Homo-oligomer: A and B are copies of this chain.
């Protein structure tokens, strides 16, 4: 009986296959403290039970991206242990708030398979869901990832590349937002007076600050998420890779950019969904991360007058301040750009 797993290879996946992932995880106040220590997040809702209570939450919910990383981490041993590259995200929606004490587990479905012409790799499209202890969904997202084949000659049963949405419609947003009483929202404690209507599509905001990343930090983070991708932890093997170094988990960059974005988006307290995301280039320890955002759109949230949705593009760059908003020239990204994240955030009106 095979006791150890070296993960699935491309030919091991089957279209329509459902995979229930291992190691359910109770999220605790300890995780929240570590998340604060790792990124320095300052959004008042996630930082303060009192602030949360004043607008109708039972207590401070767990940061949305911490939920994302924990669910994502569960999928790694089954989906991406033999990944060459994480290619993208789509249709990521947060569906219920998570509080300390909740227990999360994850289930995935293979929704697409496409072998590459070199027959050495293929793209796996997977829809993953995070569920809490009551079976209620907290997160639902699609990612696609390039995975090695074990055997180049192995045949692939059925292939299909799904059509993926490039945008979540605003009417689908807000499921994880309880009915709130924003009369109690303290705009001094939240750190900014800027509301939904103060942001204009096309507006660009430099988040000013920079954060240097250390090996110990991203390793602590990625282990906290029980993510087992060896490229993040194993310098012995990575010293022989093309970079010669440990790669930092892409989600670490997302959380750094999100924390930096507080300076400019302090009231955008909840990520309702991620339309798409791309890890444009790798980040290594010693690099300093900067970020800026563009307001892509403003939308009403379904059935509510208290909050609205902002569609944002947040760009993270390394070793390059973002006052001039580095992005693309033509189709090519500025060489400093490492993350291109397109998401919907909720913000008081």
Contacts and interface: CB of A to CB of B under 8 A. Distances in A.
Interface of A: 1, 3-6, 20, 22-26, 28-34, 36-44, 47-51, 60, 77, 100-101, 103, 105, 133, 188-194, 198-199, 205-212, 214-217, 219-224, 226, 228, 230, 233-237, 246, 263-266, 286, 288, 290, 319, 321
A263 B6 CA distance: 9
| Tally of this chain's copies | 3
Given A40-B228, A212-B233, A220-B38, A25 B47 contact: yes
A321 B6 CA distance: 14
Contacts of A44: 22-24
Nearest to A2: B194
B25 A48 contact: yes
17 contacts: A1-B193, A4-B205, A4-B263, A20-B188, A22-B190, A25-B48, A26-B49, A29-B30, A33-B33, A40-B222, A40-B228, A47-B226, A49-B133, A210-B230, A210-B233, A215-B216, A235-B288
B22 A28 contact: no
Nearest to A210: B234
Nearest to A293: B3
Contacts of A189: 20, 22-24, 105
Contacts of A48: 23-26, 103, 105
Contact of A26 (B25, B47, B223, B234): B47
Contacts of A237: 210, 288, 321
Contacts of A28: 29-30, 32-33
A193 B148 CA distance: 25
Contacts of A42: 22-23, 226, 228
Contacts of A36: 223-224, 226
A128 to B, nearest CB: 15
A33 B226 CA distance: 11
Nearest to A220: B37
